Chain A
């Protein structure tokens, strides 16, 4: 009974968030991208680069694609992004795509800003909205001083910033990054990390390749490992340094101090939690976008059903991770089940299994938090 009361007490907070600006972002992101028996080869007599790849990735997932050189990472990303058609199988459910290629040499007869304005129009951002998005991203990536410079005259790093800006400015539902960090300065790398985290928190899917295993370490929720023969194995969680594909839970475990706090019967503790959460919610709207619902009595057979609900990022029995905008619907569905008790509902305070939650939070705060606060003033 206590658990249920806890849940009731917390519900208004989430209802408040759902009616806030977050409702807007879920439009267009609800789709799952599915690769169905996808194969790719560049010519009928050429060898298969990737072969018989069937993958299904839901909203809010950050996927690390790894494999040695020539194992087909770039090809897999291109097929997933829709840059080229697969030779076999198909890709469905692709939302708006932002793609950052491996190298972006410029070479077009535009200035950086003119090029980005064209790209904004291609993504359906017209008029002043496109101009604002372009200026915002040039500013964030530290390329505003080069906005009027011809693409041909830009350095490699500056070209890469333009490539990143064009991918991010339409707020894509699928963000595909092929070694996008190459050539970037430290500030731009951090901006890019923060932007990716922000997109994923908004419910976008992001696939990335990078040769640095520390890149976005702890933030990826899945890893696709290419074996060199065109096959892909999927590992949950993020352990980029090892070839071990044993699945790791993507949800915080019971050892998480947050969870322990919820099981404490001290009502003051609960109140502190709520206060802390509300201040986070209203000062930094970027943070509490993933909600963890802890349930008891969920049967093994229902796991897949719950996992298939819109907005559910992962469901491993005791913890269901769900996008904030969907938490009401998912709660209703959970409570409709027999013998299911909702133990607690709380915002996810950081990416799961992260070794550096402080850094992630700092990234987000530096990122949208600042922008949102500026907008509120």
Chain B
């Protein structure tokens, strides 16, 4: 699996497929920062913007290999494992983006004093993790090989990202809302909440399974 991840990471880096998601994420994070917002709000925004960024990274990764190269890797390692490696590589790149976003917010936002900083940062990163999982799930289930037509995959990815950020049933939206209300109340730890976290993990596992199974079936 390590060799597979290394191979996929090399494809991501060398193919420059990371550039568009990086620019998009950078713009989205930077544009929110009109004047100095409180750190908690900034972290929530940069976490939310991870959803489209990771969905696009996932879309890039699952279409990076030509079919023949994919078949060769599938014969060597199994088609499902190869697919999971591609998804995991996109998720890993999303983690890097998320850390970058958090660093930016630390520098640019109004930091709360003392121990509140650690709590705020921890809560913000936890929300970012939920958003990463949801973004990866959206990317996995809306793209190759689950859906195949390029137009359909792009439209469905955008739709899934919007739903993930605004619909009440989305773990990402729930996590963001949870911290949002915490902020508004001005009290309590700003954690994403147990239910959205667990739901995001389940969503990720099920969508990756669907994607891996589709890869194994369709070859």
The reply to whether the CB of A216 lies closer than 8 angstroms to some CB of chain B is: no
Q: Please report the C-alpha to C-alpha distance between residue A87 and residue B79 in the assembled complex, in whole angstroms.
A: 14
Closest to A167 in B: B72
Q: Is A97 at the interface (CB under 8 A from chain B)?
A: yes
Task: Judge if B115 is at the interface, Cβ distance under 8 Å.
Answer: no
Contacts of A170 on B, CB cut-off 8 Å? 76
| Cβ of A166 to closest chain B Cβ, rounded Å | 6
Q: Is A78 in the interface zone, CB < 8 Å from B?
A: yes
Q: Give the docked Cα–Cα distance between A163 and B72 (Å).
A: 8
**Could you give, for residues 77-102 of chain B, a 1 whenever the CB lies within 8 Å of some chain A CB and a 0 otherwise?**
11100000000000000000000000
A83-B219, A110-B14 as given contacts; A98 in contact with B75, CB under 8 Å: yes
Q: A87-B217, A118-B6, A122-B3 are in contact. Are A108 and B69 (CB under 8 A)?
A: yes
Q: Are A101 and B68 in contact (CB under 8 A)?
A: yes
Contact B75 A85 (CB under 8 A): no
Given A83-B75, A163-B72, the answer on whether A109 and B11 have CB atoms closer than 8 Å is yes
Residue A341 at the B interface, CB < 8 A?
Answer: no
Q: Please measure, in the bound complex, the distance between the C-alpha atom of A87 and the C-alpha atom of B218, giving whole angstroms.
A: 10
Q: How far is the CA of A121 from the CA of B14 in the complex (A)?
A: 18
**CB-CB < 8 A to A101: which residues of B?**
67-68, 71-72
Q: Does A119 contact B (CB under 8 A)?
A: yes
Q: Is the CB of A121 within 8 A of B15?
A: no
**In the bound complex, do residue A121 and residue B3 qualify as a contact, i.e. CB atoms below 8 Å apart?**
yes
Contact mask B1-38 → A, CB, 8 Å, 1/0? 00110110011001110000000000000000000000
Q: Which chain B residues border A81 with CB–CB below 8 Å?
A: 75
Is there an interface contact between B14 and A85, defined as CB atoms closer than 8 Å? Answer: no
Known: A84-B216, A101-B68, A102-B68. A122 touches B73 (CB 8 A): yes
Chain A contributes a number of interface residues (CB within 8 A of B) equal to: 34
Once the chains are docked, how many angstroms separate the CA of A336 from the CA of B24? 75
| Interface contact B68-A83, CB-CB below 8 Å | no
Would you call A105 an interface residue if the criterion is a C-beta within 8 Å of the partner chain's C-beta atoms? yes
Q: Residues of B contacting A103 with CB < 8 Å?
A: 68
Pairwise interchain contact B11-A108, C-beta atoms closer than 8 A: yes
Neighbouring A residues of B10 by C-beta, 8 Å? 110, 114, 118
Residue of B nearest to A87 (CB): B217
Given A104-B69, A108-B11, A167-B72: A83 touches B4 (CB 8 Å cut-off): no
- Interface presence of B74 (CB below 8 A): yes
Residues of B within 8 A of A97 (CB): 75-76
Contacts of B15 in A (CB 8 A): 108-109
| Contact yes or no, B217 A84, CB < 8 A | yes
Q: Is A106 an interface residue (CB 8 A)?
A: yes
Residues of A with C-beta under 8 A to B218: 42, 84
A47 contacts B by Cβ under 8 Å = no
Residues on A with C-beta less than 8 A from B74 are: 82-84
Determine whether the beta carbon of B11 is less than 8 Å from that of A105.
no
Does A7 reach chain B (CB closer than 8 Å)? Answer: no
A99 within 8 A of partner (CB): yes
A123 at the interface (CB under 8 A from B): yes
Complex Cα gap A166–B14 (Å): 20
A98 CA / B6 CA spacing, docked (Å): 20
Shortest Cβ gap from B7 to chain A (Å): 4
Contact A85 B7 (CB under 8 A): no
**A277, B151: Cα distance in complex, Å:** 66
Q: Is the CB of B76 within 8 A of A123?
A: yes
A68 to chain B: closest CB distance in Å? 21
Cross-interface CB contact of A122 among B16, B65, B77, cutoff 8 Å? B77
B114 within 8 A of A: no
A308 interfacial contact with B, CB 8 Å: no
In the assembled complex, the CB of A159 is this many whole angstroms from the nearest CB of chain B, namely: 9
Tell me, rounded to whole Å, the shortest Cβ–Cβ distance linking A182 to chain B. 12
Q: Are A83 and B79 in contact, CB atoms less than 8 angstroms apart? A: yes
- B71: chain A residues at CB < 8 Å are 78, 83, 99, 101
Chain A residues closer than 8 Å to B66, beta-carbon distance = 105-108
A133 within 8 A of partner (CB): no
List 25 A–B pairs whose Cβ atoms lie within 8 Å, in order of A's numbering. A42-B218, A78-B71, A81-B75, A83-B75, A84-B79, A84-B219, A85-B79, A98-B75, A98-B76, A99-B75, A101-B72, A104-B68, A104-B72, A105-B68, A107-B66, A107-B69, A108-B65, A114-B10, A118-B7, A121-B7, A122-B3, A122-B77, A124-B3, A167-B72, A176-B75
* Chain B residues at the A interface, C-beta cutoff of 8 Å: 3-4, 6-7, 10-11, 14-16, 65-69, 71-79, 216-219
